[in-house]
Structures are given as structure tokens and as C-alpha cells.
Structure 1
Amino acid sequence: MFARFDFATLIGLVASVLVLGGVIWLGDGFRAFLNLPSLLIVLGGTLAVTLISYPLGDVLRTLPAVFSIMFRRLRDPSEAAMLAVKLADEARRHGHLALPARLQRERNEPFLRKAMQLVVDDTPTQEIERILSNDVGSQVQREKLSAAVLHRAGEIAPAMGLIGTLLGLVQMLGRLDNPTEIGPAMALALLTTLYGAILANMVLHPLATKLEHHTEEEATLNRLYAAAARSISCKENPRHLEALINSLLPPLKRVRYYAA
């Protein structure tokens, strides 16, 4: 049903790399900006302090969440709203037992399928509301926790860059009597700050923001489906569901299934 994929994250990351790479290439080349100790301080330190801040399980669950940012299917709220009203209309015309056959074509909507299955099973309306509300809340909580882990890592990365800078300055001051060793120490001092700033502001914080956006979008559509399940369970007029759904959507995404 929803064939559009989110390539904006991938394009943004690639564009960031190209911009930085182009500036470096036009300058003194890449060699001057490659320093393994600086990279280890920033990456290793960021991971270590993040693990101190959050349990291991929460950090590990962030990895698939990050992966899903680039490969998650984007759903059109208008199409989702139209589908919900259409299901309500078909249930009113043919009875809710006709829903399973209709839902066979919606294999990419597990929440919708679960909501409608509760209706087909004649689950009490209040129980449907409770189950679906808990599901939405649990999903939002999980993904917001992953976003919080990313934001925390984004706060740590510049701090690790500053720590690396201080380490480099200490090493540099201790080697003033040997000019040949001042250069590597200065590189460590400066590049860790650069690496930390890049990691935080071009990777971690943007990914966290995108995850938060997707979480809110997903929750809105799932609440829309939950409203449809409740309406069908109560045998309400689908026109009422249409008005309710439109109240959940931004003005430009509102639908008109029924003629005025």
C-alpha cells in the first residue's frame, strides 16, 4: 500500500561526507585529518560513557532503531485515514466478519491487522481501547528511549573530543624539548575535538531527531487505526469516524471519503 521509502537520512549522511571530504581534499588532503588515537578516544569514549549512562540492553536496542531510520517504510497519513474509513464502511455494510478477507491485502500493517482482529473476535470495546493504547504507548516509549540514548551519545562525543584535546596538550607540553614530537601531539589535541563535533552534530543528534519524528508519525497513525477499531466495535456511523480521524490529522492530510 505505502511504497515510498525514506532516503533523506541516507542522502543527508552521504552529502555530509561529501561536503567534508571536498573541503579536506581541496585543502591539504586527507592524511592530515586521519589520526587513529583521536578516533579511538572519541568513538571508544562515547560508547563507554553511554554504557555507563544506560543499561546494555537499551544501548543494543538502539542499533536496530538506527537501522530502521533509513529503511523504514513511510506511510501516508491520508491513505491510512482513507483505509480506516473504508474498513468502517465495509464493516457497516457487510458486518465485521467480512474484515479478515479485506485485511489479507494489508500485510504491511500489523497494528491495523491486530486492531481489526480484536474487533472480529468480539472483544469488548473498552478492552480493545486498553490493549491498543498500551501497544501504542509501549512502542512510543521504546523508540523514545532509543532516541534518548542517541542524544546522550551526542552530548558525550564533544566532551570526549575535549578530553582528547587536553590529553594532546599535555603530551605536547611535555615534549617541547623535542620538536619532532610536537606535531603528533598537536594533531591529537585538535582532531579529537573535530571528530567529536562531527559525530555529535552530523550523525548522532540528527539521527535522534529523525527517530523522534518517525515515532510521533507512527503513533499518530496507530492511534488512527485504534480509533477505527473502536468505532467499528461500537457500530458507529463511519461518518463520525471520518470526522474523528480528521481531527487527528494536520489540515493538509485530512480526507473526505463521503461527499459533503
Structure 2
Amino acid sequence: MSAPDQLLVVIDPVARRGDGESVRIAKDVLCGGAAAKVCLPDGPEEFVRALARRGSRRPVVIGDDEALLRAVHTLHEGGDLGESSLSLVPVGPAETVRLAVSLGTPTGAVTAARAVLDGVERRLDLLVDDRGGVVVGGLRIPDGPDSSPAPHLEPLPSVWGTCRDLVRTLVRPAPAPRVPAMRAHRLRVEADGRLLSDVDDPVEGVTVASRDDGVAEVVVRPRAAEPVRAAASAVTVSGAGFTYRADTLLTGPVRTRTWTVRPSAWSLVVPAPALSPDRG
């Protein structure tokens, strides 16, 4: 990428509130290296409008995985995802930028911003479902283990609380660690028309992940057998009603979904590969 690029820098409000210093550093690097218009949307709707009105400017998002996915969805719905390379400066706790890092985006405000200015386009596949939804990294069915928060307990006064805890410890043993039970899911899974699992054979789960080589990796985990793996350009899952998590978005219950791979459907700017030293 060349420095004279016209950039549209969209700063996600979550990043501004969570790590204003990293946001400031990234903005200064970007504005110092290119002609940049900076947008500070207050919420998702303004974020989407800013991208839709970018004109010929190259979009740069400062934010976490949620911001990246929102940008991909917006450009996809506008029909020009494949025409405009997208850049991201990841800002947020490590667990909120895992997808960005897995795609090759560096962490650190300065390093990531310089990659926006000097990096190269990496073409990536996209999973598109039959309702128009998109998946950047992968999906899993069901949506995952129960992550409900622990029930809220009012704090006890310090002395009484300490005494009560001591008595409980003396009169009864500590409970055994809770092991979540694996639920069985009756799903019909087809990969390019090949039947991988049917409703008569309960499974613990299904995952579908983009491989960026024109096909998706499909893994079906039966309850009493080894996982079944396949590579396919289209995957259909059917059942009485199932939920799934596509990247970070939870959807369902639904009765059927088909995901199709769109090869090299979009591009993300990543650091240029290091050149080997001249041994000439």
C-alpha cells in the first residue's frame, strides 16, 4: 500500500472508551502517513453509515473483532466487499481480537497502523448462508457450552461471613467439580451432497471453518465414534431446531441452513512478508 492512499478511519466507540491511548496513537500514525478522514461514530448505525459514505477512500477500522465483522457485513450488504480492501487496527483485550489476529493482523497500535500504510492485501474466503449472512472465521453448532453468569449473591458482613464459611468447611466436604453434561443433537449434515451424519445418529457438535483455499473444513463429532471430517464448498445442516454461533454472532433456533464458500471474496491488509537477505 502506498502512503498517498485516501483513508477513511472509522474508530469504534467501544475502542475509544476502552483504550483511548491506543486509539490516539493509531490515529496519529495513520494521519501522519496518509490523507485520512477520521469518523467517530457513536453507535452501530453511525458506524454503518460512515462506511457506506466512504466514497473512494480505503476503509480502516480501529476496534475489535465485533467492529471488523460489522465492517465486513456492511460492505457485503452493499455489494462491494470484494472491490475495497479492508484494514483493521485491533484495539481491545486479547480475547476480543482473536479473530483479527488469526487472520494475520498484528497487535500493537503502532505496528498495526504501519501495516495499514505499508502492508499488502490478503485475499480471504467467505462463508455465505442462504439468508445472506456471512461468516469470516467459522461457525459451530450448537453455539457452545453454557456461559450463563453465576447467580448474584448479596455479600455477607465480614465477620459473619467468615464464621459461616468456616463452619461450612468443617461440617461438610467441598463439592466435586461440576462437569457439564454433553447433550446429544440430532442433525443431518451434508457436505457437497455427501451425507456425513443423519438425525438417527446423535452428535455432540458440528464445526465449519474457512480454509482460504476455496473449500471449508467440516467436522462432525458423533457421541460414540471418531470425528468425521470433510472439505466442501457447500454445507447444509438440518434439524428440529438448532442454534449456531457464526464468528461471534449467536443465531437460532433454525431448522436448516446452507453455507457456501465464496473463494477470495474479500481482502484484508496485513504486513508485507519480510524479504530474505541477499546472499548474492
State the TM-score, normalized to the length of structure 1: 0.22
Which structure carries more relative contact order (alpha carbon 8 Å, separation 6+)? Answer: 1
| Higher strand content, 1 or 2 | 2
| Higher helix content, 1 or 2 | 1
State the TM-score, normalized to the length of structure 2: 0.21
